C-alpha cells in the first residue's frame, strides 16, 4: 500500500475565505494532517497560494474537493512525498 | 457545519454582514416610524374603531414587510450575480457549485428576510397594545398612547444598537434616534392641526 505523506500544491483562490479559513477547511477535510499555507501573489480578486500538507495518509481527492468547494482552483501539484508500506498480514 | 455557522460563513465570504446590519436598522426604523405616524394620525383624527386602526396598521406593516423583502431580494440577487460573475472571470472557472455559488443563491434570500422581517416584526410589536386592548386586557394607558410608547421604546433600542455597532455612547445614540421620533411626532401633530 502506498501512502501519501506530503504534498505541495499551487492553488489559485478568491480572497474569501481567507487564508486561515481556507487552511482550516483543508485540515478538516483530511484526517490528522498538518497544513502550511503561504500566500505567493495577490491580485485584485484572487491570490495564489502554496499549500503544504503533511500527514500519515493524505487523501488527495478529499483535499481537492475541499479546495473546489471554497472556490479555489488547483493549478499544479508541485511536490509529492509517498511511502510504500509492506502488508504483513 | 451547523445552520447558523453556515449562514455566518456565507455572509463572511460575501462580506455582506454589514449590509444585513444596515438593512435591519434602516428598515426597522422605517417600520417603527411608519406605525407611530399612522397611530398618531388616528389619534389626532375623529376617534375610529380599534378594529379599523388595527387593520389599517396591519395593512401598512404587511406592505412594509413585502416591500422590504422583494426590493432587497431583487437588488441583492443582481448584486450577488454580478459579484459571482466577476469572481468567475478572475478565477477562469465556474463557481456555481462552490461556496461562492451557494452564497450567491442564499445570501440574497437572507438579506431579503432581514429587510422584510425587521419592519414587520417591529410593527407587530407596536400593534401589541391595540390587540391586547381589543382582547379585553386592561392597560394602564389608552391603547393608542401605549402603542406610541412602545414605538418610542423600540426606536430607542434601535439607537442603542447603532451605538453598539459604532462603538459610541449607547445612551447618546439612543437619545438621538428618540429625538428623530419625537420630531416626527411633532411634525404630524403640527400638520394635523393646520
How would you write the pLDDT of chain B (194 residues) with one tens digit per residue? 788 988 999 999 998 989 999 999 999 999 999 999 999 999 988 888 999 999 999 999 999 999 999 999 999 999 999 999 999 999 988 998 999 999 999 999 999 999 999 999 999 999 999 999 999 988 899 999 999 999 999 999 999 999 988 888 889 999 999 999 999 999 998 888 77
The span from the CA of B134 to the CA of B70, in Å, is 32
Angstroms from A78 CA to nearest CA on chain B: 20
- DSSP assigned state of A38: E
**Cβ <8 Å between B86 and A45:** yes
The span from the CA of B95 to the CA of B134, in Å, is 54
* Tens digit of each residue's pLDDT, chain A (89 residues): 899 999 999 999 999 999 999 999 999 998 889 999 999 999 988 999 999 999 999 999 999 999 999 999 999 999 999 999 876 65
pLDDT for residue B167: 85
Cα B143 versus chain centre, distance: 22
**Cβ <8 Å between B87 and A43:** no
Q: Is the backbone peptide bond immediately before B39 cis, with ω within 30 degrees of 0?
A: no
**Cβ <8 Å between B99 and A69:** yes
pLDDT for residue B170: 87
ipTM: 0.81
pLDDT for residue A87: 67
Which among A17, A70, A73 is the nearest to B93, CB-wise?
A73
Substitution target from B91, B93, B102, B105 for chain A, most A beta carbons within 10 A: B91
Q: What is the pLDDT of residues B119-128, one digit of tens each?
A: 999 999 999 9
Which among A16, A17, A73 is the nearest to B91, CB-wise?
A73
Query: Which B residues, 39 through 98, put their C-beta within 8 Å of a C-beta on chain A?
Result: 86-87, 90-93, 95, 97-98
Query: Which A residues, 9 through 48, put their C-beta within 8 Å of a C-beta on chain B?
Result: 12, 14, 16-17, 43-46
* pTM for the predicted model, two decimal places: 0.83
- Answer for the pair A10, A75: CB distance below 8 angstroms, yes or no: yes
Amino acid at each position: 500500500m502506498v501512502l501519501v505523506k506530503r504534498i505541495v500544491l499551487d492553488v489559485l483562490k478568491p480572497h474569501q475565505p481567507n487564508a486561515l479559513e481556507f487552511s482550516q477547511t483543508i485540515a478538516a477535510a483530511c484526517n490528522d494532517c498538518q497544513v502550511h499555507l503561504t500566500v505567493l501573489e495577490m491580485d485584485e480578486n484572487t491570490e495564489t497560494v502554496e499549500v503544504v500538507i503533511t500527514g500519515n495518509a493524505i487523501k488527495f481527492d478529499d483535499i481537492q474537493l475541499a479546495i473546489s468547494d471554497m472556490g479555489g482552483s488547483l493549478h499544479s501539484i508541485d511536490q509529492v512525498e509517498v511511502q510504500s508500506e509492506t502488508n504483513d498480514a | 457545519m451547523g445552520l447558523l455557522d453556515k449562514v455566518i460563513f456565507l455572509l463572511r465570504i460575501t462580506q455582506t454582514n454589514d449590509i444585513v446590519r444596515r438593512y435591519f436598522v434602516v428598515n426597522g426604523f422605517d417600520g417603527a416610524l411608519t406605525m407611530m405616524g399612522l397611530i398618531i394620525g388616528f389619534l389626532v383624527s375623529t376617534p375610529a374603531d380599534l378594529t379599523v386602526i388595527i387593520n389599517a396598521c396591519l395593512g401598512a406593516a404587511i406592505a412594509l414587510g413585502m416591500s422590504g423583502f422583494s426590493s432587497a431580494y431583487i437588488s441583492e440577487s443582481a448584486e450577488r450575480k454580478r459579484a459571482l460573475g466577476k469572481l468567475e472571470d478572475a478565477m477562469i472557472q465556474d463557481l456555481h457549485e462552490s461556496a461562492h455559488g451557494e452564497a450567491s443563491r442564499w445570501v440574497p434570500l437572507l438579506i431579503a428576510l432581514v429587510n422584510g422581517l425587521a419592519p414587520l416584526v417591529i410593527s407587530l410589536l407596536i400593534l401589541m397594545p391595540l390587540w391586547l386592548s381589543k382582547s379585553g386586557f386592561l392597560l394602564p394607558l389608552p391603547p393608542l398612547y401605549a402603542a406610541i410608547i412602545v414605538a418610542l421604546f423600540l426606536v430607542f433600542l434601535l439607537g442603542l444598537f447603532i451605538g453598539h455597532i459604532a462603538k459610541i455612547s449607547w445612551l447618546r445614540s439612543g437619545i438621538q434616534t428618540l429625538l428623530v421620533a419625537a420630531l416626527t411626532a411633532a411634525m404630524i401633530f403640527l400638520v394635523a392641526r393646520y
